[in-house]
């Protein structure tokens, strides 16, 4: 497994009237070639800021990268200039956003927009670019591509527009595709189609995908590995089986418990996580999740927990994994889903501050 | 492999959740207008405009009191004097002190500007909001009336009014507001059209609110941004129009002075007695500049997209 | 057997545009029983939101009846008659960022219903009610003087709920109240709604597109497709035995937070042309007790064998 992307100790903040918001506070993860990493989190968790920072799309000021590196194929994107990033964006890294209407130019034909991406990154003629556009529309499953390539975005339905956006993102065969909530605004049947499409394309082109979402169902459907973010940090990371069937962090438990499953009894109450995420202008001392954590211990309010390793691929940032911590049971609905996962360490191992 | 930090056992006791703490809001309360004011303050040009406006208003109020001459007293022996220590701005052809006249004129010009803006505000806001909210036939009819009025040749209308009602401050204001409100009405209507489909308006309707309540509590307060900006930009427009009409001889009657009438009288004497045009002209420009710059600053400060 | 709080008969909402008539709601007939939660699901464009807004008379119905406790909500009504309905039926909206007037304080927003209907005699009484409502929805008293933009999405939705509760309604239409919220916050709001229902005997029409959450909160669920109800059944029954092909397709498309099942899941696709109605209008027929499916005579025969 070779690593396409390595993010080390990334910290990003924003200057606002109310103070400096610590949007991302020390994030470490990697992405292997050909795999899909899902970044799950709620609003304010820092997942979008992380992905936009990788693409260097955050205006700086008021944003700034306080520390860290983002190694894409060995090159640190944090140190690149705007001009250098222009050559990388669209070519090596493609991005898909949530709202297709804001990603597409309403006054330009769809074929021309896709063609633009092709021409920018490879020297071909307009006719060649149009041919490629038709190829891409076929790849993303748009019927009658030769006619539709001459249509405007408003002539497509929501799901179709998202497919066009995917076609644009794939135009130059990027190594990495960053999809930021690409199906959140779509109906459930259209979402299912788009997810199938993305998995299909990944099989064909071996693109690596970072998939950002807040929907755990979607994660279970597309991801190979999962990173759970809360208050600007990754609190749990592992393979999709590890995170769903053997979760270790109380926030992950909370997320899983607050999703009604189609087979649970309507009588028992949905275990909601009380309160709201903290204000990151003044990140709380200790564990940021402590104020909302029914399993919180005194130390959670004093010291930030270290990252513990539970298997070669499974990490969690919680004091509950400390040998002196009491043994706790996750909520009932989470326990029902749990099952045995392979290759777990006998005891969790403490991880060094800036490594994995 | 790192060493586990030494942590006392008691630290691992469960602490539990403080519900009130979980819902607390840390940041101090910042109302909409406080936020706007802070952003406005950062705009140096806009603040310069405010300072300028304050100075002009101050002079309009206290200027005529600063000299012993009043604006109407003739002194033919001292006609057309250049600016001196006696007459800071010089004298005009009837020997009247230009300084006193300038600030007397300021009162009139500013009053006209403000009055016109306020009348446009009231008529325009009511007309535009009712038209926009009701929609359908009402909207079409009301806007057609506005369009027709807008299409009438303006100058013709003013001249007819002047002839019918005689020259004077009241007539001048009437002349300016008879079509001036249309711009405000269009802006307000546009805002209301956008806002009336917002969910909070629907919520109010489901609660049983009357049209009056929805207009005054929900729609107009959320449109104050563009309303304020339009009003701020109406003032210089009115001042300029007054100057223009006065120049055409349709201004306030003598011995009243407005900047427009002063400029109109000063123009033929430009070659020999330039100060007579210079001062009123200068202050017309400064006033228009000040209000324009304030209006632009307000527009930027109110723009939600520029909000941080 | 509880009695019917709402009876909707042949409700139609057609919008006339230059491009032609949009039949947003095309002949809906169903009942809502006192104290129950009826879920209404469907994808965008199926007409569920329009249905909710027509029931509460934000839009005047093109035809059909909405009987609330036997009285028709539509038709010629005086101001006071309409005001009476305003107190009985309330609505919670989808967008937490657009459903609260940004220029009003939370206290004024919540008290608007109280002000309109004169439910408080003094300022003190008004404030007391506002504080009570804030606490009921899990917010602090201090929040009363703040502005909407200072709150998170979930908190704003709760303010919206407090506003609806202020007039003491019997029936609340929740129009996609949780769609714009984070998952863990959705659970908070849904739990709150269930608690309020128990405590105050409320009846809900819960409109949403998130099927798992709808199943959790609803007693019965109606599935809408292109302006019509295609299936109506108790929640458990709908998920265990979906009959209409559209319902089956919808259910098969929901991603579950279970990687093992996701790997093996087969999605069904709905193609309206499989019905072959031959001009016959499909009707809602009862295929098993309480379980209705829109079908032709022929289809009904197959469903009941």
* Band of pLDDT at residue B10, cut at 50, 70 and 90: low
**Which runs of E-coded beta strand occur in A73-171?**
75-76, 93-96
Report the chain B residue with the minimal C-alpha distance to residue A302. B11
Report the chain A residue with the minimal C-alpha distance to residue C257. A217
Report the chain A residue with the minimal C-alpha distance to residue B38. A17
In this predicted structure, what is the pLDDT of residue C249? 92
CA–CA dist C193, C37 (Å, integer): 10
CA–CA dist C30, C52 (Å, integer): 13
* Band of pLDDT at residue B26, cut at 50, 70 and 90: low
Facing residue for A42 by CB, picked from C182, C253, C256:
C182
In this predicted structure, what is the pLDDT of residue A353? 58
Structural domain that includes position A287: 1-84+213-356
CA–CA dist A319, A325 (Å, integer): 7
Q: What average pLDDT score do residues A101-105 get?
A: 86
In this predicted structure, what is the pLDDT of residue C7? 93
Most C-contacting residue of B136, B201, B208 (CB-CB within 10 A), to test interface? B208
| Residue contact A214–C182, C-beta within 8 A | yes
| Residue contact C58–B204, C-beta within 8 A | no
Please give the interface size between A and B, counted as residue pairs whose CB atoms are below 8 Å apart: 74
Q: For the residues of chain B, what is the DSSP string, one character each? A: -PPPPP--GGGGSB----HHHHH---SPP--HHHHHHHHHHH-HHHHHHHHHHHHHHHHHHHGGGSSS--SS---GGGTTPPS-SSSTT-B-TT--BHHHHHHHHHHHHHHHHHHHHHHHHHHHHHHHHHHHHH-HHHHHHHHHHHHHHHHS-HHHHHHHHHHHH-SSHHHHHHHHHHHHHHHHHHHHHHHHHHHTTSHHHHHHHHHT--HHHIIIIIIHHHHHHHHHHHHHHHHHHHHHHHHHHHHTT-SPPTT---HHHHHHHHGGGTTT-THHHHHHHHHHHHHHHHHHHHHHHHHHHH-GGG--
Report the chain A residue with the minimal C-alpha distance to residue C234. A266
Q: Which of A306, A295, A308, A301 is nearest to A334 (CA)?
A: A295
Report the chain B residue with the minimal C-alpha distance to residue C83. B208
* Band of pLDDT at residue B6, cut at 50, 70 and 90: low
For residue range A317-349, list pLDDT tens digits in order: 998 988 888 888 888 888 888 888 888 888 888
Query: Is the CB of residue A176 less than 8 Å from the CB of residue A94?
Result: yes
Q: Does A322 touch chain B (CB under 8 A)?
A: yes
In this predicted structure, what is the pLDDT of residue B25? 65
Residues of B in contact with A294 (CB under 8 A): 16-17
Does the pLDDT value for residue B291 go beyond 60? yes
Most C-contacting residue of B20, B195, B200 (CB-CB within 10 A), to test interface? B200
Facing residue for C150 by CB, picked from B27, B199, B213:
B27
Q: Annotate C158-210 with three-state secondary structure.
A: HHHHHHHHCCCCCEEEEECCCCCCCHHHHHHHHHHHHHHHHHHCCEEEEEECC
Residues 6 or more apart whose CB falls under 8 angstroms from that of C203 comprise: C5, C6, C32, C33, C34, C35, C36, C37, C170, C171, C172, C197
- Given phi > 0 = left and psi -120 to 50 = alpha, else beta, which region is A44? left
In this predicted structure, what is the pLDDT of residue A102? 83
Any domain includes A200: no
Residues 6 or more apart whose CB falls under 8 angstroms from that of B261 comprise: B105, B246, B251, B252, B254
> In chain B, pLDDT over 90 holds for what percent of residues?
27
* Band of pLDDT at residue B39, cut at 50, 70 and 90: confident
Does the pLDDT value for residue A22 go beyond 90? yes
Residues of C in contact with A213 (CB under 8 A): none
In this predicted structure, what is the pLDDT of residue C223? 95
CA–CA dist A317, A323 (Å, integer): 14
- Listed as ranges, residues in chain C with pLDDT below 70 are 1-2
Facing residue for A261 by CB, picked from C154, C188, C212:
C212
Query: Is the CB of residue A171 less than 8 Å from the CB of residue A132?
Result: yes
Facing residue for B1 by CB, picked from A306, A319, A349:
A349
- Work out the minimum CA distance from C259 to partner chain A, whole angstroms: 5
Any domain includes A101: no
Chain A (257-296) residues lying within 8 Å, Cβ to Cβ, of chain B: 274-276, 279, 281-282, 290-296
Strand, helix or coil at C152? Answer: coil
| Residue contact A300–B15, C-beta within 8 A | yes
For residue range B234-243, list pLDDT tens digits in order: 888 888 888 8
The chain B residues in contact with chain A (CB within 8 A) are 1-5, 7, 9-19, 21-23, 26-27, 38, 308
Q: Which of C225, C166, C221, C220 is nearest to C196 (CA)?
A: C166
For residue range A240-290, list pLDDT tens digits in order: 999 999 999 999 999 998 887 766 555 667 778 887 788 888 888 889 998
Q: How many domains does chain A have?
A: 1
Whole-number Cα distances in Å, C254 to A217, B266, C102, C209, C257: 8, 81, 35, 10, 10
Class of domain B57-72+89-306: mainly alpha
Most A-contacting residue of C153, C183, C191, C235 (CB-CB within 10 A), to test interface? C183
In this predicted structure, what is the pLDDT of residue A232? 94
Chain C (170-229) residues lying within 8 Å, Cβ to Cβ, of chain A: 182-188, 190-191, 194, 209, 211-213, 215-216
- Work out the minimum CA distance from C7 to partner chain B, whole angstroms: 19
Tell me the torsion sign for CA atoms A14, A17, A20, A22. Answer: negative
Q: Does A217 touch chain C (CB under 8 A)?
A: yes
Subunits that touch chain C (at least 3 Cβ pairs < 8 angstroms)? A, B
CA–CA dist B88, B82 (Å, integer): 9
Chain center to CA of A270 = 26
Residues of B in contact with A307 (CB under 8 A): none
Does the pLDDT value for residue B308 go beyond 50? no
CA–CA dist C277, C258 (Å, integer): 38
Q: Does A324 touch chain B (CB under 8 A)?
A: yes
Report the chain C residue with the minimal C-alpha distance to residue A253. C184
- Work out the minimum CA distance from A179 to partner chain B, whole angstroms: 25
Facing residue for B206 by CB, picked from C91, C102, C143:
C91
> In chain A, pLDDT over 90 holds for what percent of residues?
46
Q: Does B22 touch chain C (CB under 8 A)?
A: no
- Work out the minimum CA distance from B127 to partner chain C, whole angstroms: 22
Does the pLDDT value for residue A182 go beyond 50? yes
Chain C (41-100) residues lying within 8 Å, Cβ to Cβ, of chain A: 43-44
Does the pLDDT value for residue B16 go beyond 80? no
Chain B (212-251) residues lying within 8 Å, Cβ to Cβ, of chain C: 213, 217-218, 221-222
Residue identified by tokens 């109109």 is B264
Q: Does C150 touch chain A (CB under 8 A)?
A: no
| Residue contact B208–C82, C-beta within 8 A | yes
Any domain includes A67: yes
Residues of A in contact with C208 (CB under 8 A): none
Residues of A in contact with C264 (CB under 8 A): none
For residue range A40-89, list pLDDT tens digits in order: 988 889 999 999 999 999 888 888 999 999 999 888 998 888 888 888 88
What is the ipTM, given to two decimal places? 0.88
* More confident of the two residues B91 and B193: B193
CA–CA dist A332, B223 (Å, integer): 51
* Band of pLDDT at residue B260, cut at 50, 70 and 90: confident
Report the chain C residue with the minimal C-alpha distance to residue A192. C253
Does the pLDDT value for residue A354 go beyond 60? no
Residues 6 or more apart whose CB falls under 8 angstroms from that of C217 comprise: C37, C39, C190, C193, C194, C204, C206
For residue range A157-176, list pLDDT tens digits in order: 888 899 999 999 998 889 99
Q: Does B34 touch chain C (CB under 8 A)?
A: no
Q: Which long-range contacts (CB under 8 A, 24 or more apart) does A85-91 make?
A: A85/A55, A85/A56, A87/A121, A89/A55, A89/A56, A90/A117, A90/A120, A90/A121, A90/A171, A90/A172, A90/A174, A91/A120, A91/A121, A91/A172, A91/A174
In this predicted structure, what is the pLDDT of residue C41? 95
| Residue contact A260–C213, C-beta within 8 A | yes
Query: Is the CB of residue A208 less than 8 Å from the CB of residue A36?
Result: yes
In this predicted structure, what is the pLDDT of residue C122? 93
Q: Does C255 touch chain A (CB under 8 A)?
A: yes
CA–CA dist C167, B204 (Å, integer): 12
Q: Which long-range contacts (CB under 8 A, 24 or more apart) does A74-79 make?
A: A78/A10
Residues of A in contact with C197 (CB under 8 A): none
* More confident of the two residues B291 and C182: B291
| Residue contact B12–A298, C-beta within 8 A | yes
The backbone torsions φ and ψ at residue A280, rounded to the nearest 5 degrees and listed phi first, read -85, 10
List the CATH number of the domain containing A75.
Answer: 3.40.50.300
- Is the overall model pTM greater than 0.95, yes or no? no
Subunits that touch chain A (at least 3 Cβ pairs < 8 angstroms)? B, C
Facing residue for C163 by CB, picked from B23, B203, B213:
B203
């Amino acid at each position: 497994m070779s690593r396409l992307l390595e993010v080390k100790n990334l910290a990003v903040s924003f200057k606002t009237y109310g103070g400096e918001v610590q949007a991302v506070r020390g994030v470490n993860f990697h992405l292997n070639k050909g795999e899909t990493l899902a970044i799950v989190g709620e609003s304010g968790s820092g997942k979008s800021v992380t992905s936009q920072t990788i693409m260097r799309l955050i205006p700086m000021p008021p944003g700034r990268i306080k520390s860290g590196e983002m190694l894409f194929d060995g090159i640190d994107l944090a140190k690149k200039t705007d001009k250098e990033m222009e050559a990388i964006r669209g070519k090596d890294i493609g991005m898909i956003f949530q709202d297709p209407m804001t990603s597409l130019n309403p006054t330009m034909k769809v074929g021309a927009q896709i063609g633009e991406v092709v021409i920018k990154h490879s020297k071909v003629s307009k006719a060649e670019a149009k041919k490629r556009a038709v190829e891409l529309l076929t790849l993303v499953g748009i019927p009658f591509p030769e006619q539709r390539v001459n249509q405007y975005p408003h002539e497509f339905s929501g799901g179709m527009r998202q497919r066009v956006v995917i076609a644009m993102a794939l135009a130059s065969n990027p190594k990495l595709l960053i999809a930021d909530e690409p199906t959140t605004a779509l109906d459930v049947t259209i979402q299912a189609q788009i997810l199938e499409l993305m998995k299909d394309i990944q099989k064909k082109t071996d693109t690596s995908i970072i998939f950002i979402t807040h929907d755990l169902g979607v994660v279970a459907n597309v991801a190979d590995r999962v990173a759970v973010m809360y208050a600007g940090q990754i609190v749990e990371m592992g393979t999709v089986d590890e995170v769903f069937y053997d979760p270790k962090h109380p926030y992950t438990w909370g997320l899983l418990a607050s999703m009604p499953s189609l087979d649970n009894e309507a009588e028992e109450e949905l275990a909601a996580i009380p309160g709201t995420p903290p204000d990151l202008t003044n990140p709380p001392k200790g564990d940021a999740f402590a104020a909302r954590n029914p399993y919180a211990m005194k130390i959670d309010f004093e010291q930030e927990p270290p990252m513990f390793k539970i298997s070669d691929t499974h990490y969690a940032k919680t004091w509950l994994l400390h040998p002196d911590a009491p043994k706790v049971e996750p909520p009932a609905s989470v326990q029902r889903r749990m099952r045995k996962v392979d290759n777990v360490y006998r005891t969790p191992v403490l991880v060094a501050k800036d490594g994995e | 492999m790192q060493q586990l930090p030494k942590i006392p056992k008691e630290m691992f006791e469960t602490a539990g959740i403080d519900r009130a703490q979980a819902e607390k809001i840390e940041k101090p309360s910042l109302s909409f207008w406080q936020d706007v004011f802070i952003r406005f303050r950062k705009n140096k040009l806009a603040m310069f405009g405010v300072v300028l406006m304050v100075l002009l208003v101050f002079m309009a109020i206290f200027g005529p009191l600063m000299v012993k001459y009043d604006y109407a007293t003739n002194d033919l022996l001292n006609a057309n004097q250049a600016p001196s220590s006696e007459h800071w701005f010089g004298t005009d052809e009837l020997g009247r002190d230009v300084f006193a006249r300038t600030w007397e004129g300021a009162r009139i010009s500013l009053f006209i500007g403000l009055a016109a803006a306020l009348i446009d505000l009231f008529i325009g806001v009511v007309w535009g909001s009712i038209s926009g909210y009701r929609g359908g036939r009402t909207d079409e009819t009301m806007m057609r009336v506005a369009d027709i009025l807008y299409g009438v040749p303006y100058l013709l209308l003013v001249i007819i009014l002047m002839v019918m009602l005689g020259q004077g401050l009241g007539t001048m204001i009437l002349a300016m507001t008879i079509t001036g409100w249309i711009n405000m009405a269009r802006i307000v209507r546009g805002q209301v059209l956008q806002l009336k489909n917002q969910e909070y308006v629907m919520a109010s309707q489901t609660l049983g609110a009357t049209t009056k309540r929805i207009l005054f509590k929900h729609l107009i307060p959320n449109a104050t941004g563009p309303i304020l900006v339009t009003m701020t930009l109406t003032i210089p427009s009115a001042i300029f129009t007054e100057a223009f009409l006065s120049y055409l001889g349709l201004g306030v009657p003598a011995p009243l002075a407005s900047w427009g009438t002063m400029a109109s009288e000063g123009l033929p004497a430009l070659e020999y007695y330039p100060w007579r045009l210079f001062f009123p002209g200068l202050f017309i420009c400064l006033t228009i500049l000040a209000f324009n710059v304030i209006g632009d600053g307000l527009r930027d400060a109110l723009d939600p997209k520029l909000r941080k | 057997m509880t009695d019917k709080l709402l009876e909707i008969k042949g409700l139609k909402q057609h919008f006339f545009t230059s491009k032609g008539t949009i039949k947003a709601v095309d002949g809906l007939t169903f009942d809502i029983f006192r104290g129950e939660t009826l879920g209404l699901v469907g994808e965008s464009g199926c007409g569920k939101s329009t249905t909710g807004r027509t029931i509460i008379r934000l839009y005047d119905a093109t035809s059909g009846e909405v009987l609330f406790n036997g009285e028709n909500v539509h038709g010629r009504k005086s101001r006071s008659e309409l005001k009476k309905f305003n107190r009985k039926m309330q609505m919670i909206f989808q967008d937490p960022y657009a459903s609260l007037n940004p220029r009003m304080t939370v206290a004024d927003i919540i008290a608007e219903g109280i002000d309109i209907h004169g439910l408080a005699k003094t300022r003190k009484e008004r404030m007391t009610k506002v504080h009570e409502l804030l606490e009921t929805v899990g917010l602090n008293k201090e929040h009363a003087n703040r502005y909407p933009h200072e709150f998170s999405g979930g908190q704003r939705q709760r303010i919206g709920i407090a506003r609806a509760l202020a007039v003491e309604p019997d029936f609340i239409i929740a129009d996609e109240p949780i769609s714009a919220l984070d998952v863990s916050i959705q659970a908070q709001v849904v739990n709150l709604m269930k608690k309020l229902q128990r405590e105050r005997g409320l009846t809900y029409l819960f409109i949403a597109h998130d099927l798992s959450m709808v199943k959790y909160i609803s007693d019965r669920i109606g599935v809408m497709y292109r302006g019509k109800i295609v299936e109506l059944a108790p929640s458990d029954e709908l998920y265990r035995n979906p009959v209409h092909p559209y319902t089956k397709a919808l259910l098969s498309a929901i991603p579950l937070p279970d990687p093992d099942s996701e790997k093996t899941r087969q999605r069904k696709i709905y193609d309206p042309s499989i019905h072959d109605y031959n001009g016959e209008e499909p009707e809602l027929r009862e295929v098993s007790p309480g379980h209705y499916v829109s079908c032709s005579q022929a289809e009904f025969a197959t469903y009941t064998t």
